[in-house]
Structure 1
Amino acid sequence: MTTPHQSAEAELIAYGLTLPETEAGLGWAFTRVVRVRGKMFVILGDKAQPKNELTIIVKLPISFEMVQELYFVRESRGWYRQHDWVIAHFGPDDDILAELPTLKAWMKQSYVAMAPKTLGRQVSEA
């Protein structure tokens, strides 16, 4: 049986693959990623994460400060904080499906930040 978190991850990866020149694959040992021309713009998963939880990491240079107070955003530290990467974690009781529009918008912002300028402009102007 698929959990809402697994469904959300599948939908987010599918959305990421609609953006120009993207590919999905494995990140570090326990993560899945979506890349644009080899650069990660979304990281999914965490070490030993149960199927009814999901961690998502995206680069948000525009809205990094604004999203810090959301209940599902964890404090970014070190390199992540310095480079405006946001860590969102959804536990078993969180309604991750309700947050999909927000997460897709974050993925788009992260894509624009990581993609070559010509690709980023295509997406931000669309």
Structure 2
Amino acid sequence: MTSHEQAEVELTAYGASLPEAMAGPGWQLTRALYVNKKMFAIFGAKAEPRDELTITVKLPISAEMVGDLYFVRESRGWYKQHDWVIAHFGPDDDVLAELETLKAWLRQSYVAIAPKKLSKLLDAPAD
């Protein structure tokens, strides 16, 4: 398993652990995370090799702030207009070093897409 595949497995497990979230197929050859039948994260890209990883998430709070990160690709059109950010890690990029950032992005995307009653559960104190 490549580090990119390992990162996707860990990020998918994290995303699927959020309230009522689930993993499933995305568009064409992509994989996705859903809440309430709506995508909040997309993994992969057409013809992407095993040693690369593309992740697309909705970041309404930080989309403008992350554009200078080395792994963020410029979003265009509908994606940019609606604050979706595309992160791409090539074969030489250390995607595992960015896992905490990517988990925070998954959480932000989840909150942006999930019904308020579900996103409020993230801030509820543990019993």
TM-score (norm 2): 0.96
Cα deviations by residue, 1:53-112 (Å, 9 ceiling, x for unpaired): 000000000000110000000000000000000000000000000000000000000000
> Is it true that 1:56 corresponds to 2:55 in the alignment?
yes
Q: Within 1, Cα distance between the matches of 2:124 and 2:68?
A: 28
Q: Kindly tell me: are residues 19 and 124 of structure 1, through their superposed partners in 2, closer, same or farther at Cα, counting changes over 3 Å?
A: same
- Segments of 4+ moved more than 3 angstroms: none
| AA matched with 1:25 | G
Identity of aligned residues (%): 66
> Is it true that 1:35 corresponds to 2:10 in the alignment?
no
- Structure 2: segments with no counterpart, 5+ residues: none
Q: Within 2, Cα distance between the matches of 1:5 and 1:55?
A: 9
RMSD: 0.9
| AA matched with 1:23 | M
Please identify, of 61-70 and 116-125, the stretch whose mean Cα deviation from structure 2 is larger: 116-125
Q: Kindly tell me: are residues 124 and 75 of structure 1, through their superposed partners in 2, closer, same or farther at Cα, counting changes over 3 Å?
A: farther
Q: Kindly tell me: are residues 124 and 114 of structure 1, through their superposed partners in 2, closer, same or farther at Cα, counting changes over 3 Å?
A: farther
Q: How does 1:35-114 map to 2 (within 5 A)?
A: 35-114=34-113
Aligned to 1:19: 18
Q: Within 2, Cα distance between the matches of 1:15 and 1:23?
A: 10
Give the secondary-structure state (helix, strand or coil) at the position aligned to 2:46: coil
| AA matched with 2:12 | I
Q: Within 2, Cα distance between the matches of 1:5 and 1:104?
A: 14
Cα deviations by residue, 1:39-65 (Å, 9 ceiling, x for unpaired): 100000000000000000000000001
Aligned to 2:2: 3
- Structure 1: segments with no counterpart, 5+ residues: none
Aligned length: 125
Q: Within 2, Cα distance between the matches of 1:117 and 1:25?
A: 22
